[in-house]
Amino acid sequence: MRAIVFEERGKYKLKEVPIPRIKEDDVLIRVDTCGICGTDVHIYEGTFPANFPVIIGHEFSGIIEEVGKKIKNFKKGDRVTVNPNTVCGKCKYCRNGKENFCVAIPGLGVNYDGGFAEYVKVNESSVYHLPEKLDLETASFTEPLSCSLHGIDLAEIKPGHSVVILGAGPIGLIILQLARISGADKIVVTDPVKRRRELALKLGANLSLDPTKVKIEKEIKTFLKEKAEVVIECIGNPSTQVESLNLVEPGGRVIWFGVADPQAEVKVNPFYIYRNEITLKGCFVNPYTTERAIKLLAEGRVNVKELITHKFKLNELDEAMQVYRKNKERIKILMKPEK
């Protein structure tokens, strides 16, 4: 089969490799669609550690080609998606309902071969059936949607709340829709790219702002008549992370969803946090949210088709990465393993 194999940090080859041999509790999936995530880009650029050699890609869906001897819940021909964040089930965190802190994470596409290939081997515990009405391209959004659901859970949005979302990339636009489903009254989205701001309005935002042209804090306070009850930062930039703290009202909640550089630091006034009782939470991967994500996609509650701007084949990875890094209007890029 053909696969994109990263042999060392920042260096890859599209090559013919053997189709994975499954064990008795594995399934072999023929990949239909695999989305490009920021993690994939960081591995491509050589800035993210992985267990080399490795086939990257973790946002995928496909059709089962073969099942192991012990598999009873799946069969050849089943349409499936996966939770790529494989866990050990044995560590302290797994045994206490905190599997997103498992020592085995991250999994597929980082430490184990992932979906930038024609076939991928996955343990049965990570595989999920898809409803008939859910197409495979849409199903490839299961992992980013499940991560976004975790962020929404942490934000504790209630009907009538005001929400500010910093960043209108794929995650920001998904979180926007989840905030609307959760009952948010007014939602403000910020992004410097006009196309993304326009799409945010189409998907349910009440106001979209260009942070390069207006004073965000002033505009939000004017629109909401106060600061927001919930602020979700979806960029991972230290400057917007600091800004998020200034946009939330006393007693409000701030979620840092965007992935910052591990070496980055921000300057925070502890008295401000203390005096205003601001709750600040990080958000990491997708504990126990995969099935909910599949249901929302199947029922059309979250519109992901509007987010797809580009599709590439495996032999076009360089072009896809250039679009990701340089095309400001791109939103979601999908990889299609077919020749």
27-42: pLDDT as tens digits: 999 999 999 999 999 9
Q: Which long-range contacts (CB under 8 A, 24 or more apart) does 234-239 make?
A: 234/165, 234/166, 234/167, 234/168, 234/169, 234/171, 234/172, 234/175, 234/258, 235/166, 235/167, 235/169, 235/172, 236/260, 236/261, 238/264, 238/265, 238/266
pLDDT tens sequence for the chain (339 residues): 999 999 998 899 999 999 999 999 999 999 999 999 999 999 999 988 899 999 999 999 999 999 999 999 999 999 999 999 989 999 999 999 999 999 888 899 999 999 999 999 999 999 999 999 999 999 999 999 999 999 999 999 999 999 999 999 999 999 999 999 999 999 999 999 999 999 999 999 999 999 999 999 999 999 999 999 999 999 999 999 999 999 999 999 999 999 998 889 999 999 999 999 999 999 999 999 999 999 999 999 999 999 999 999 999 999 999 999 999 999 999 999 986
Residue with tokens 């965000």: 216
Question: 292 in the Ramachandran plot: left (φ > 0), alpha (ψ -120 to 50) or beta?
Answer: alpha
Listed residue (74, 128, 75) closest to 294, CA to CA: 128
Q: Residue 127 is encoded by which pair of tokens?
A: 């595989």
Q: What is the CATH number of domain 146-282?
A: 3.40.50.720
Q: Are 188 and 224 within 8 A, CB to CB?
A: yes
In three-state secondary structure terms, 246 is helix
In three-state secondary structure terms, 195 is helix
Largest CA distance in the chain: 63
Q: Are 118 and 31 within 8 A, CB to CB?
A: yes
Q: Residue 67 is encoded by which pair of tokens?
A: 């099942």
Domain ranges of the chain: 2-141+304-336, 146-282
Q: How far is CA 119 from its chain centroid? A: 22
Q: Are 155 and 255 within 8 A, CB to CB?
A: yes
Q: Tell me the sheet residues that pair with 332.
A: 308
* Alpha-carbon gap, residue 84 to 251, rounded angstroms: 35
The model carries a pTM of: 0.97
Q: Are 35 and 79 within 8 A, CB to CB?
A: no
Q: Is the dihedral of CA 108, 112, 117, 120 positive or negative?
A: negative
- Give the burial class of 264: count Cβ atoms within 10 A of its Cβ; 0-12 exposed, 13-18 middle, 19 or more buried: exposed
107-140 residue pLDDT tens: 999 999 999 999 999 999 999 999 999 999 999 9
Instruction: Tell me which architecture the domain covering 2-141+304-336 has in CATH.
Output: Alpha-Beta Complex (3.90)
Number of Cα atoms under 13 Å in the Cβ half of residue 102: 20
| Whole-number Cα distances in Å, 132 to 126, 143, 203, 295, 338 | 19, 19, 25, 12, 22
